[in-house]
Structure 1
Amino acid sequence: MEVDQETPKAGVVNVTSIESWDSYVQQSKSHGTPIVAHFSASWCIPSVAMIPFFEELALTFHDITFLTVDVDDFKDVATKYEVKAMPTFLLIKEGDVIGKLVGANPDEIKKRIETLLQSNTPFVV
């Protein structure tokens, strides 16, 4: 089964270049749109397992930009944000990382997204 990596599914956007990543972060700064970024790898079973849940979140939370970043394709972005394990989820508001969750924990990521929408309080990493 072939999957088109360029086609966003259920509101999730696959980052296709460092420039597109920078553009989304800049939009977050200028428009105040929060970002939830899923740093993943195709060889990481927990990352792949989180894809349907992440897509479901994108359908639920319309005021958030959901991005997927393949760490093998964009090592510079992963390094910049100190992503060392997959999956890693970053919560970004106004261009700043305000939360980081390492591991496949659907309940926790949903809870943190709900908190992201309600406040500017940073999360304990």
Structure 2
Amino acid sequence: MVSTVKSRVLQIDSQEKWNLITSKPMYQDSPIIVNFTATWCKPATAMEPLFEEQALKHKEAIFLSVDVDEVKGLMEKMKIKAMPTFIMMTPNKNQEREVMDKVVGANPNEIKKTIATFINLARI
């Protein structure tokens, strides 16, 4: 029997959903980590299990996945130039969320290290 674990990574498939999640009051104290990906990009799809694993490990953060082909305007707005790109955004305690860190490329060790460092800083 195979047990299925519900994903902690929220799929963002529209600008409206992005706006809703990133501004939702219940998430305002949570840091957000976003994986910008594309189905046609092999390195990006190869990082999805790692991103899922990080979401399960760091339950205090909100993990989002954005397919750049589904939400085209967001790619430009967030200045994403390559896939995969992982961005870390601050909690929005009475101000606009800011991008605090970014990892471009399929580098598992760098992704894990950057997420862990960001989560620790976000707790302060």
* Class of the TM-score when normalised by the shorter of the 2 chains: 0.7 to 0.9
Question: Please, what is the CA RMSD of the aligned residues?
Answer: 1.9
Is it true that 1:82 corresponds to 2:84 in the alignment? Answer: no
Alignment CA distance shift 1:107-1:101 (3 Å): same
Give the Å deviation of 1:9: 5.0
Moved more, 43-52 or 25-34: 25-34
Provide the rounded CA distance (Å) in 2 between the counterparts of 1:9 and 1:30: 19
Q: Percent identity?
A: 42
Q: Which amino acid aligns with 2:100?
A: I
**Per the alignment, in what secondary structure is the counterpart of residue 47 of structure 2?**
helix
Q: Which amino acid aligns with 1:91?
A: M
CA deviations on 1:19-58 (whole Å, 9 max, x unpaired) are 1111222138962201110000000000000011111111
**Per the alignment, in what secondary structure is the counterpart of residue 119 of structure 1?**
helix
* Structure 2 residue ranges without an equivalent (≥5): 92-96
Which residue, 116, 119, 123 being the options, matches 1:117? 119
Alignment CA distance shift 1:55-1:96 (3 Å): same
TM-score (norm 1): 0.83
**Per the alignment, in what secondary structure is the counterpart of residue 39 of structure 1?**
strand
**Per the alignment, in what secondary structure is the counterpart of residue 85 of structure 1?**
coil
Q: What is the aligned partner in structure 2 of residue 104 from structure 1?
A: 106
Alignment CA distance shift 1:103-1:49 (3 Å): same
* Structure 1 residue ranges without an equivalent (≥5): 1-7, 121-125
Q: Which amino acid aligns with 2:107?
A: N
Q: Which amino acid aligns with 2:51?
A: F
Q: Which amino acid aligns with 1:104?
A: A
Alignment CA distance shift 1:29-1:93 (3 Å): farther
Provide the rounded CA distance (Å) in 2 between the counterparts of 1:28 and 1:101: 27
Q: What is the aligned partner in structure 1 of residue 94 from structure 2?
A: none
Q: What is the aligned partner in structure 2 of residue 4 from structure 1?
A: none
